Amino acid sequence: MASERTGPLAHLTVLDLSRIMAAPWATQIFADLGADVIKIERPGVGDDTRSWGPPFLKDSQGRATKESGYFLSVNRGKRSVTVDMATTEGQEIVRSLARQADIVIENFKAETLKRYRLDAASLRADNPRLIYCSVTGFGQDGPRKDQAAYDFAIQAMGGLMSVTGERDDKPGGGPQKVGVPIVDLMTGMYAAVAVLAAVAKRDRTGVGDVIDLAMLDVQAAFLANQAMNHLVGGRNPQRGGNRHPNIQPQDVFACADGFFVLAVGNDGQFAKLCEVLGHAEWSSDERFASNAARVRHNPELTALLSGRFMTFARDDLIARLDAEGVPAAPINSVPQVLSDPQIRHREMVRDLPHTEAGSVRHVVSPLRFENAPLAFPRSAPLLGEHTDDALVQLGLGADEIAALRGKGII
């Protein structure tokens, strides 16, 4: 293992007791950064997302496998070890792995792992340097702590869907979820930040920490400007389609042959936009001369811009705006993004080795380090692919491993 691990976290071992998306997103970040991530899965079943398809990966002979695209998206670079944590023997295996780990991440409901003596207090009694991160829907305390949660539900109850989507009085109006599980992803990012902060503190003190991270808290935190718009201005933020609530003009507009996004960020960019459109006088009009004025007079501005944009071909307009430093972009499909020349130049899509398929194309980490370059040695693991290796590292012999397998514990 050590020979294939590079990156700034190659010295760390992570015990991953999580499944689905939020916490596994954090542990995939650690794997990308070089940590040895040992993913514990249920024997014969594994992470729920293994079955979340189609699509499912095809093997090197073109036959369907049991590896879903969803699972592959969040588990690359990890090792899979199957353990039945409901058994005494399985619990001891996990405790033994935790004694050798730097970090444990889990996303069971509050207090579930306490029944198995796999909670933070139990594991840190044996390993005080351990950093233990719990990811739940609502945290370890409070009136909702025992409720189950999924990304979609948190997007709804956390306010995100109230500000996402077209206005109710417009065609297609109504609340919308984000097109990727954004609460899961942001929770994973916050988990990674929190754990790395705890690692930095442990380097000074020699003592680990316990992190209690809740998806609803994360959703409330990244309401960001919309939350502050309410706290400062007393307003209830509403859905406004693609229109930015604080900066204008920022919206989706139609040209003669397609849609594009305009993201003007300051008065200078607005003046350049007006020059490209052949109406330099708009930038000195008192209704539009400042951003605050443009926000107040957005309906009039939008009407003027929309009429002028329809006289342009989209790609020609974007090129002219780009030349003047005015942010604008086409609305690309996923295939168009992944084939974009910039994405290809940055090698964001790479072929990674996979046990059944030979190789699998992955979108890899965007993190780049000059002195600790990242390596991506493998795709996501097969269920239990590394069980024997992990148990050998714990000192178990072949007969002991065979006996555990015979009992269905691994």
Q: Among the residues of 103-250, which ranges form H helices? A: 120-126, 151-157, 182-205, 215-221, 224-233
CA distance 205 to 129: 9
Nearest to 27 by CA among 97, 75, 81: 75
Residue 282 DSSP code: G
**Which amino acid makes up residue 371?**
N
Asked if residues 103 and 15 have their Cβ atoms less than 8 Å apart, the reply is yes
One-letter amino acid for residue 270 of the chain: F
CB 192, CB 28: distance < 8 Å: no
Distance CA 20, CA 246 (A): 35
User: How many whole angstroms separate alpha carbon 79 and alpha carbon 92?
Assistant: 19
| Residue 340 bears catalytic tag | no
How big is the chain by its Cα radius of gyration, in Å? 25
- CA distances (Å), origin 228, targets 243, 245, 408: 18, 12, 53
Q: Would you give the DSSP letter of residue 51?
A: G
What token pair was written down for 34? Answer: 């070089």
Annotated catalytic residue within 47, 84, 151, 184: 184
- Cα dihedral sign, 35-97-20-182: negative
Cβ–Cβ under 8 Å, residues 4 and 377: yes
Active site residues: 184
